[in-house]
Amino acid sequence: MNIALILIDIQNDYFPGGKMELEGSIEASLGAKTLLSAFREKGLPLIHIQHVSVRPGATFFIPDTKGIEFHENVEPRRHETVIQKNYPNSFRNTSLLECLEKESIKHLIIAGMMTHMCVDATTRAAFDYGFKCTVVWDACATKSLSFDDKVIPATHVHGAFLAALNNVYAQVITTRDFLSSDFVSRMTGECS
């Protein structure tokens, strides 16, 4: 198969009660759960990315805390690949590229958190490595940011980063659009 699902940082600290709650994290995790179920059903490759913060002064994703664990909606199964990372870019100092090359993966379906940070950094890096990328935007979540003493709402942050990725770095679509057709034959057939 030439396609793989990459789920980025869907971990407890991004959910209600966590140390870095995102807007729409529950809804995004349900979209990711739908994608995960489809890939599992078809026996397609999938990789869970887990952020472990080793940066001095970090306030979330701290090792050995509940916040670092995967959210229950997307918990990996025993045989599924889990790659830990310490930077926004899921390829940096990890085995992700080697893992994808070993399986001859050409097309990545990307979902996760945060849209403006790790999803963006990983998608751009994947593009630079020559992968075709599809970002499933309603299976991603982010938060409001501040700039020049102004608050930029999470929906604007989300939209701006997805708009910047769309058409050049990735095709940006909804979960429903992705699953509405026979995605396995459509995605794997283009690379065979």
* 20-76 tens-digit pLDDT: 999 999 999 999 999 999 999 999 999 999 999 999 999 999 999 999 999 999 999
Is residue 82, in this structure, part of any structural domain at all? yes
Q: What is the CATH number of the domain that holds 164?
A: 3.40.50.850
* 116-147 tens-digit pLDDT: 999 999 999 999 999 999 999 999 999 999 99
Is residue 154, in this structure, part of any structural domain at all? yes
Is residue 66, in this structure, part of any structural domain at all? yes
Q: Domain of 158? A: 3-187
Mean pLDDT of the chain: 94
Is residue 65, in this structure, part of any structural domain at all? yes
Give 34-54 as a DSSP string.
HHHHHHHHHT--EEEEEE---
Q: What pLDDT is stored for residue 180 in this prediction?
A: 85
Q: What pLDDT is stored for residue 3 in this prediction?
A: 96
Question: What pTM did the predictor assign?
Answer: 0.94
Is residue 135, in this structure, part of any structural domain at all? yes
Is residue 142, in this structure, part of any structural domain at all? yes
Is residue 192, in this structure, part of any structural domain at all? no
Alpha helices in 103-171 (DSSP H): 120-128, 154-165
Alpha helices in the chain (DSSP H): 25-42, 96-102, 120-128, 154-165, 175-180, 183-189
The domain total for the chain is: 1
Is residue 20, in this structure, part of any structural domain at all? yes
